Structures are given as structure tokens and as C-alpha cells.
Amino acid sequence: MVLSGPVLGSASLRRFTRLTVLLIAVDFLDELASGIPFVGAPGIQRDLGISYGQAAGWVLTSFGLLALVLEPPLFLLADRYPRRFFVCGGLLAEGLICLLAGFAPGFGTLLVAVALYGPASGVGVGLAQATLMDAHPDDRERILVRWTLSGSLGDLATPALFSALALVAWGWREAFWIVAVLWLVWAVLVFRAPFPERVQEDDAPEPGMLDALRSAFATPALRPWVIGALLCNLMDETLVGFGALYLRDGLGADVHGRSLVLGAFMAGDVLGLLGLEPLLRRYRPMPMLAALSLGSAAAYAGWLLAPNVAWSVGFALLVGLFTGGHYPLAKAQAYRALPDRSGTVNAVMTLAGAAFLPVPVLLGVAADGVGLRLALGLLMLQPLGLLVIALLAMRRGRLAAS
């Protein structure tokens, strides 16, 4: 399989095309939308008369078992048929689901909407990223840095949206409606943009989807980077959730102190991503990943041992600074392992990600058993695991060159 049509090379990084800009912005919209249930949880609980457990726990459904069932076959099909329809279909579905969530009369309807949003986001957003990887085969790391930065800005935009809506006495319903309109407009704009299309190079029949999946799982170059990209979830939402509890119970931080520390994580993440792209012009990705992983491990150890909130803020900034680049560098290598099969890479990632679903529960059990600080120490698996994977990749590269 090869790309035909407007295939974009490294020169497009200096002058963005319309498709690239639109697809990178997709992650901003997705993080903005997915943050609404979290930021709006107090209003949702009040308006729908539901329990604390329902107001918080049901959010996990959006990224649960339904996505595991629906996403992999759609990802595999997206490697066989025009990608435009899968991406735009997913974006359109996200808009309609947000519209449904905003009009939800009760908890049941909202639960259905959130459950459906997971696979819709997986297809629309996941394949938007995959399309960027196909369009920029020589610049995957730098494109993914921009993609990740876009998502980080979306995280920051959700509370800003709620603050703006509060000025006119609006809340979570209006937030869903606004994002729904944005999704629908974006689906149209993306559909009208030129896509790199896939065509068959020869008359050889396509392997069956199960065979393609087995072949991908058996690819030695892919396996470590699937694990590496999935490890990047540990020092993301998991760290924020359990870190807030640790700051309250371990350091006695009030709401303002907790917000300051968590804000430092996010600020460091954005600063790290802003600084990473220029560095990638000078240094190779694997030494960069090894250096970032080592720095992240040291900074995270300092954060865990910080004696007070002031020290915690400083180390949190460093953790974000070193950790922000983990995901784009690791995920880019996964795409490189299966050129022109980016949909299959995402299918493997989704299925392998099932092994990571129990992590928050296991971490909670560990916190109850050995204490929250020691349990948070387990998240050190992310930088240390990525360090090992990067060093092994560098060693393989040296052996291949000799």
C-alpha cells in the first residue's frame, strides 16, 4: 500500500497545509470536550440529582469496554478504505453525542452519551492522528509534539470555558452544546480538505483483518513501542487523580495549594513540548527520549520526597517539563514500526490497552495497603520503562549499523 494524492513531506512543517492544521486542532477539541464531565461534575450532580459515585465514576465508561469492541475493526478497515470517511464520521459522531449529552434529561441518557463518546473519539481523533502520521512519514516526532501540545492546551481550555460560561449563568449543558457545534463545523472543514489517499500497489489480495492483526502483534519492532506509548498514561490522568489525594493527605495542601501544584504539572508539560521541537532539529529521537526519561525519573523522585507544597510546585514543574515529550516520541516509533498501516497500529494499541484498564484500581489497592506515597512510586515505571526501551533501541541501531 502506498499514499497517493497530496502526500506531505518535511517541507510542510515549515508551511502547514490546511489538512495538517485542521487535524492537529482535533486533539484540542477532543480534550476540551472530554474535560466537560470532569470540570462540570458538580453541576451535573446537582441538576440530575445523582450520587457522587455516579457523577465521577461513570466518566470511566467513555474509555471502557465499548471502545475495545468497536474501535479495532474500524481501525483495521481504515487501512483498507478511504480514511476521510472514517475520520469525518468519527468527528460528526462526537458532535452529535455532545449534543445528546447537553440535552440529557437524566443520568441514563448521559451515561449512554459518555459511553458512546469513547469509541467515537477513538475513531475520529485516533485516525486523525494516524492520517497525520501517514502524511508526514519523515517528521512524525515533530508532528506528534504539536499534536500533544494542542491537546494540552485543550486541557487548559475546559476550565476557562466554564469560567466564561459562569459569567452568563450557563453551565455544563451549554458547554456540551458549544463543543457539539465546534465538532460539527470541524467535521465539514476536514471533509473538504485534501486527504492523502491509499491505493493498492499491485494485485496482491489484502490479508484478512485477523491475519493483519496477528501479523502486527508479531512484529518485534512494534511491541516495545506499544508498551512504551501505553506507559505514558501513568504520569497523566492517573498521576493527577492520585496526586491530588496525596497532596491533600500527605502534604496537607488545601484546594489552592493542590491547584498550584497540578497547574505546575500542566505548565511544565506545555513548556516541555514547546522546547522539544527545536531540540529535535538537532538531536535524534532516541537519545532525546532517554534523556527525558532520566530527567523525569529524577524530578518525580524529588516530587515524591518534597517536604512541603512550595518544593512540590517546583518539582511538579520539572516533572511536566521532562515528561511532556514521552508520548510523542514513543508513539512516533510505534507508527514507524508499521509504515502505511497507521490504523492497524491504533488497533493494536487499543487491544493492548485493555491490560492497562485495571491500573487505577490496582493503584488504589496498593495505596490502601502500603500507603499513597509508595503507591505513587509505582508510576516511576513510566520513565524507567521508557529509558530501558530507548536504550535497547539505541543498542539495536548501533548493532545494525556495524
Q: Which residue has the cell 497523566?
A: 236
Within-domain flag for 214 = no
Joined together, the cell numbers standing for residue 350 give 487499543
Within-domain flag for 212 = no
Within-domain flag for 215 = no
Spatial contact of 199 and 4, defined as CB atoms under 8 Å apart: yes
Asked if residue 25 and residue 51 are part of one domain, the reply reads yes
Q: What is the pLDDT of residue 206?
A: 67
Q: Which amino acid is at 70?
A: L
Within-domain flag for 230 = yes
For residue 107, what are the domain limits?
2-206
Q: What is the pLDDT of residue 136?
A: 87
How many helices and strands (H and E) does the chain possess? Answer: 21, 2
Joined together, the cell numbers standing for residue 368 give 490502601
Q: What is the pLDDT of residue 106?
A: 87
Within-domain flag for 217 = no
pLDDT at 396 over 90: no
pLDDT at 402 over 60: yes
Asked if residue 280 and residue 149 are part of one domain, the reply reads no
Within-domain flag for 216 = no
Final residue before a domain boundary, out of 155, 175, 206: 206
pTM: 0.85
Within-domain flag for 218 = no
Asked if residue 15 and residue 53 are part of one domain, the reply reads yes
Within-domain flag for 213 = no
Percent helix, strand and coil across the chain, each to the nearest 5:
80, 0, 20
Asked if residue 342 and residue 232 are part of one domain, the reply reads yes
pLDDT at 6 over 50: no
Share above pLDDT 90 across residues of the chain, in percent, rounded to a whole number = 51
pLDDT tier at 372 (50, 70, 90 boundaries)? confident
pLDDT digits (tens, 9 = 90+) for 82-117: 999 999 999 999 999 999 999 999 888 888 888 888
Asked if residue 240 and residue 171 are part of one domain, the reply reads no
Asked if residue 230 and residue 199 are part of one domain, the reply reads no
Residue predicted with more confidence, 298 or 60: 298
pLDDT digits (tens, 9 = 90+) for 330-346: 999 999 999 878 999 99
Mean pLDDT, residues 156-168 taken together = 90
Asked if residue 232 and residue 166 are part of one domain, the reply reads no
Asked if residue 147 and residue 284 are part of one domain, the reply reads no
pLDDT digits (tens, 9 = 90+) for 254-300: 878 888 888 899 899 999 999 998 999 899 999 999 999 999 999 99
Q: Which amino acid is at 278?
A: P
Which sign, positive or negative, has the C-alpha torsion 66, 72, 73, 78? positive
pLDDT at 385 over 70: yes
Q: What angle do CA 289, 290, 292 make, to 5 degrees?
A: 65
Q: What is the pLDDT of residue 62?
A: 46
Q: Which amino acid is at 388?
A: V
Asked if residue 236 and residue 378 are part of one domain, the reply reads yes
Q: What is the pLDDT of residue 1?
A: 42
What CATH number corresponds to the domain at position 365? Answer: 1.20.1250.20
Mean pLDDT, residues 363-368 taken together = 81
pLDDT digits (tens, 9 = 90+) for 205-230: 666 778 888 888 888 999 999 999 99
pLDDT at 13 over 60: no
Virtual torsion, Cα 378, 383, 385, 386, nearest 10 deg: 160
Mean pLDDT, residues 47-65 taken together = 57
Asked if residue 300 and residue 241 are part of one domain, the reply reads yes
Asked if residue 176 and residue 74 are part of one domain, the reply reads yes
Spatial contact of 327 and 269, defined as CB atoms under 8 Å apart: no
pLDDT at 307 over 60: yes
Asked if residue 104 and residue 60 are part of one domain, the reply reads yes
Residues with Cβ within 8 Å of 96's Cβ and at least 6 positions away in sequence, in order, are: 180, 184
How far apart (Å, rounded) are the C-alpha atoms in residues 301 and 298? 5
Final residue before a domain boundary, out of 142, 174, 206: 206
Q: Which residue has the cell 492537529?
A: 24
pLDDT digits (tens, 9 = 90+) for 311-335: 999 999 999 999 999 999 999 999 9
Q: What angle do CA 156, 89, 328 make, to 5 degrees?
A: 45
Final residue before a domain boundary, out of 151, 180, 206: 206
Task: Classify 198 as helix, strand or coil.
Answer: strand
CA 399 to chain centre: 33
- DSSP letters, 22-49, are HHHHHHHHHHHHHTHHHHTHHHHHHHHT
Tally the domains of the chain: 2
